[in-house]
């Protein structure tokens, strides 16, 4: 899906600027509609099965209704890398404002505050907040300290030079992974001097400089992409 080139910039402790491609209200709304349809389908099927149990089934259905309404997005976001089925279908992901994975508390906070974003109707408050905020955050995201971003396009992976993959010496946060992949994708189109200058910014990670640093970043990028 085409989108405006809107990015949220964060700066790592090493002074490297990372640009997270934030998701606007349209893809977020489409993802929500997919999740809403899935929840309705789940409740419909459960209603048929529990309806056979009479009054006891009605009580169980009301409990299930509460659980699905409140915990469906929380569980998916906290357990499945910030991605509900709807977000996965649209290539979106919820992350912390610093690019780190979202936790249970942040996920519960942002979803609890949907009741505020829905006011006065139809997510009007959330839509206004998204349109006014540079990072396209609704009110729940602002309070929880989260962002909804686009994940790396699969077709962009083809531009990464094919180098024998190697894991990073230390675990990388999602924002750092995105920075390594962005470098590996764009570096072949840069002059050697500019490529080496950018690679030197990651010298604390790869313990190398210049062309050797660039090659090690290519290796990490291929490892992140799951190449053999």
Residues ≥6 apart with Cβ < 8 Å to 87? 31, 35, 93, 94, 148
Q: What is the pLDDT of residue 5?
A: 46
45 near 120, Cβ under 8 Å? no
Same-domain pairing of 177 and 191: yes
Domain-located, residue 175: yes
Rounded CA-CA distance 140/160 in Å is: 36
pLDDT above 90 as % of the chain: 50
* 17-30 average pLDDT score: 83
Q: Pick the last residue of a domain from 109, 128, 150.
A: 150
Domain span at residue 87 reads 7-150
Q: pLDDT of 66-84, one tens digit each?
A: 999 999 999 999 999 899 9
pLDDT of 206 above 60: yes
Count of alpha carbons within 13 Å of 220, Cβ hemisphere only?
Answer: 25
Same-domain pairing of 115 and 173: no
pLDDT of 12 above 60: no
pLDDT of 4 above 70: no
Q: Pick the last residue of a domain from 124, 150, 176.
A: 150
Q: Pick the last residue of a domain from 126, 150, 174.
A: 150
Q: What is the pLDDT of residue 17?
A: 56
Same-domain pairing of 77 and 163: no
Average pLDDT, the chain: 86
Same-domain pairing of 115 and 27: yes
Same-domain pairing of 173 and 145: no
Q: pLDDT of 133-188, one tens digit each?
A: 988 899 999 999 999 998 755 455 556 787 888 899 888 887 788 888 888 888 88
Same-domain pairing of 145 and 192: no
Report the number of distinct structural domains present in the chain.
2
Domain-located, residue 1: no
Same-domain pairing of 111 and 189: no
Q: What is the pLDDT of residue 75?
A: 95
142 near 116, Cβ under 8 Å? no
Same-domain pairing of 41 and 106: yes
Same-domain pairing of 172 and 97: no
Q: What is the pLDDT of residue 11?
A: 63
The DSSP element (H or E) to which 198 belongs, if any, is helix 192-200
- Using left for φ > 0, alpha for ψ between -120 and 50, and beta otherwise, residue 44 falls in alpha
Same-domain pairing of 198 and 95: no
Distances (CA, A) of 116 to 83, 133, 149: 22, 16, 22
Orientation of helix 192-200 relative to helix 210-224, angle to 10°: 70
Domain-located, residue 226: no
């Amino acid at each position: 899906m085409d989108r405006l080139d809107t990015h949220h910039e964060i700066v790592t402790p090493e002074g490297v600027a990372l640009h997270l491609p934030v998701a606007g209200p349209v893809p977020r709304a489409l993802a929500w509609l997919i999740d809403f349809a899935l929840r309705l389908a789940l409740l419909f099927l459960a209603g048929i099965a529990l309806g056979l149990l009479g009054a006891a089934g009605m009580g169980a259905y009301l409990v299930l209704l509460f659980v699905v309404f409140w915990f469906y997005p929380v569980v998916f976001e906290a357990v499945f890398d910030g991605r509900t089925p709807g977000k996965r279908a649209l290539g979106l992901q919820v992350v912390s404002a610093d690019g780190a994975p979202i936790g249970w508390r942040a996920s519960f906070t942002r979803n609890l505050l949907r009741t505020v974003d829905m006011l006065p109707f139809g997510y009007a408050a959330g839509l206004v907040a998204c349109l006014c905020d540079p990072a396209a955050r609704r009110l729940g995201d602002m309070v929880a300290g989260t962002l909804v971003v686009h994940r790396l396009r699969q077709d962009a992976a083809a531009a990464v030079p094919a180098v024998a993959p190697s894991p990073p010496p230390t675990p990388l946060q999602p924002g750092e992974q995105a920075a390594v992949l962005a470098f590996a994708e764009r570096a072949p189109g840069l002059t050697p001097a500019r490529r080496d200058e950018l690679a030197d910014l990651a010298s604390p990670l790869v313990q190398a400089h210049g062309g050797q640093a660039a090659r090690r970043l290519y290796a990490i990028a291929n490892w992140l992409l799951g190449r053999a």
